[in-house]
Structure 1
Amino acid sequence: MRQTRAVADLLDRWRAAAHAAGAKPDERSIRAGEQLLARWREPHRHYHTVAHLGVVLDVVDRHAGLAGRPDLVRLAAWCHDAVYDPRAAGDANERDSAALAESLLTGLGVPAPAVAEVRRLVLLTAGHRVTPDDADGALLCDADLAVLAGPPAAYDRYAAAIRREYAHVPEPAFRSGRAAVLTGLLELPTLFRLPLLAARWEAPARANLRRELATLTGSAAH
């Protein structure tokens, strides 16, 4: 893998999180980070890229004090879209990403309880449904959905990137499927669970979702 400064920084962050979780500080952790980055750089990805990984990690780092085990949240961020196939059905990507996390972290010597927690966190990103007492799950899911609260132009770039990832889907089917995803998000009691982030992001995120949904269904946003 070509080592740019940005890549080197990401790998440093990976190793720090893995070692904090109990991984042995040897060459295997370096190779594991490189393998994960290679997945995030697959050519079929347009939104689920290293840039998305960086955003999620940045949110986790900024609000690490709200989590019980921020190192495990960081590892879950690394793994949550490590497997990403736009043609996969249902929550197959999340399940496969969770299985990859389990295998990878176990091989690095991370203790079994920590591995199980990372697996649990990764699976949460399938539906972003978090119980009120789950601060670690809330931080991961809030970070994963941060893109929804961006300025309209940034949100539109995100939506366009999602469409490129699903270029194989005919337009009518894409509109229907994407509308279902947006409707499911809008039906969540709250998109963001951590009060600090909800206060800042909930309103703009819902406005963006309603606006995109209106373009997909031909209805007026409200």
Structure 2
Amino acid sequence: MNPLRWQTLMHQLGAKPSLDTYQQLVRAYTESHRHYHTAAHIDACLHHFDSVKSLAQAPATLEMALWFHDAVYQTQSTQNEQDSANWAVQFLQKAGVAADPCHQVHQLIMATAAHTIHNDEDTALMIDIDLAILGQDTQTFTNFETQIRQEYAWVPIAEYCRRRSQILETFAQRPHLYQTAYFQERYEALARSNLKNAIQHLQAGILPNNGDNE
């Protein structure tokens, strides 16, 4: 979460640098209960964004949505995306950003709640970027699953395995995990392999790295 990158983005949106909000975001992404949904996740998303920036219809708007999409994250809440989107819009409005980009940022963040199929190219990119972790190398994916379990450590193991396997199965059952050709070509095959292995382990009650399986 580079401050110079943030300032450049704010300039692209025709707004003030707003370093106070940048610092608020940094603090949010370093909250102690976060293990995956951290600044590292945002940096990874921005790295993927850089690879597909030329495909975006409104790249600055898409990038801003990525900065904010997990700004509010509480594992016992059902409205993290809504709260994150609201924060983003409130901030952008105060910063003097036009109404259309504000609305687009809100819509892009809300799309990460269900990760469903969208015809809009930028929304498809937003979702694919957020799900890129599914198609990373085996160790990176295992670390991801371990970190998610750490964020939900308050859930009993049996219940967690059941719910987590159900979530992963909803992705595995889709005709395509990714909506854009770029992500399909690079990550689809490995993502399916990662999901298959994770689901099998979860259904057997085995957590990544044998974490607290006893």
* Deviation, structure 1 residue 176: 1.4
Aligned pair 1:163/2:149, yes or no? yes
Alignment-mate amino acid for residue 135 of structure 1: E
* Deviation, structure 1 residue 107: 1.3
Match of 1:104 among 69, 91, 106: 91
List runs of 5+ in structure 1 lacking aligned partners: 1-6
* Deviation, structure 1 residue 160: 0.4
TM-score (norm 1): 0.88
List runs of 5+ in structure 2 lacking aligned partners: 206-214
Pairs within 5 Å for 1:166-205: 166-205=152-191
- State how far apart, in whole Å, the 2-side matches of 1:75 and 1:83 are: 15
Match of 2:11 among 9, 19, 25: 19
Does the CA contact (< 8 Å) of 1:124 and 1:130 recur in 2? Answer: no
TM-score (norm 2): 0.92
- State how far apart, in whole Å, the 1-side matches of 2:7 and 2:124 are: 23
Aligned pair 1:72/2:67, yes or no? no
* Deviation, structure 1 residue 195: 0.5
SS of alignment partner, residue 168 of structure 1: coil
Alignment-mate amino acid for residue 81 of structure 2: E
SS of alignment partner, residue 63 of structure 1: helix
- State how far apart, in whole Å, the 1-side matches of 2:163 and 2:104 are: 31
Q: Where in structure 1 do 4 or more consecutive aligned residues deviate above 3 Å? A: none
- Counterpart in 2 of 1:56? 45
Match of 1:118 among 96, 105, 116: 105
Alignment-mate amino acid for residue 108 of structure 1: A
SS of alignment partner, residue 179 of structure 2: coil
- Counterpart in 2 of 1:47? 36
Does the CA contact (< 8 Å) of 1:45 and 1:165 recur in 2? Answer: yes
The count of residues paired between Structure 1 and Structure 2 equals 205
- Counterpart in 2 of 1:211? 197
The percentage of aligned residue pairs carrying the same residue is 35
After TM superposition, the structure 1 stretch with the greater mean CA deviation from structure 2, 115-124 or 33-42, is 33-42
- Counterpart in 2 of 1:135? 121
Does the CA contact (< 8 Å) of 1:56 and 1:144 recur in 2? Answer: yes
Alignment-mate amino acid for residue 121 of structure 1: L
* Deviation, structure 1 residue 22: 2.5
* Deviation, structure 1 residue 161: 0.5
- State how far apart, in whole Å, the 1-side matches of 2:56 and 2:136 are: 23
SS of alignment partner, residue 50 of structure 2: helix
- State how far apart, in whole Å, the 1-side matches of 2:83 and 2:174 are: 24
* Deviation, structure 1 residue 191: 1.6
